[in-house]
């Protein structure tokens, strides 16, 4: 009986020692530092995404106004550049919050309207129709 009691006591002492080690000041400080670094990295990623989105939105607005008088060659060039940039941002958009995703959809809609106008103006039948049905 005494041996069981001693083993339990030693087990408890080892458990308390392990928890004490895990909770010491140095370990807490190191953990907090790592958390802070992760938060800074996440913030930097968010700022970078916001900057890219804002730049692309401005680019779409600028190109939309230029597209009104663009030649077919200029339009193909603009469209190719849009597709390239759109693909880059689409790949990153999964990490965005809901407001950013809604804004992103708005930018895409603005570009689609521009495409439709240009195709009609240039006489092309290559109008890109994006129909979403709700069943």
Does 24 reside within a domain?
A: yes
* Each residue's pLDDT tens digit, 30-80: 777 777 777 777 766 667 777 887 888 899 999 989 988 889 999 999 999
Total number of domains constituting the chain: 1
In a domain, 6, yes or no: yes
Query: Quick check: is 33 in a domain?
Result: yes
Tell me the CB-side half-sphere exposure of residue 39, using CA atoms within 13 A: 6
Phi, psi of 27 (to 5 degrees): -65, -45
Q: What is the pLDDT of residues 108-135, one digit of tens each?
A: 999 999 999 999 988 764 545 554 545 4
Question: Structural domain of residue 75, as residue ranges?
Answer: 2-122
In a domain, 108, yes or no: yes
Predicted TM-score (pTM) above 0.75 = no
Burial annotation 94-113 (CB, 10 A radius, 16+ → b, else e): eebeeeeeebbeebbeebee
Reported as type and span, the H/E element at residue 42 is helix 25-67
Q: Is residue 105 part of a domain?
A: yes
Place of tokens 């995404």: 49
Tell me whether residue 93 is in a domain.
Answer: yes
């Amino acid at each position: 009986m005494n041996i069981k009691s001693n083993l339990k006591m030693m087990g408890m002492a080892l458990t308390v020692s392990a928890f004490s080690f895990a909770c010491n000041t140095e370990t807490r400080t190191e953990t907090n530092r790592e958390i802070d670094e992760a938060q800074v990295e996440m913030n930097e990623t968010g700022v970078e995404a916001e900057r890219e989105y804002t730049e692309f939105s401005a680019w779409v607005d600028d190109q939309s106004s230029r597209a009104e008088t663009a030649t077919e060659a200029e339009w193909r060039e603009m469209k190719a550049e849009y597709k390239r940039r759109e693909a880059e941002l689409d790949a990153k958009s999964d990490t965005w919050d809901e407001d950013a995703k809604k804004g992103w959809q708005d930018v895409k809609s603005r570009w689609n309207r521009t495409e439709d106008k240009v195709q009609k103006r240039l006489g092309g039948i290559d109008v890109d129709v994006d129909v979403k049905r709700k069943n």
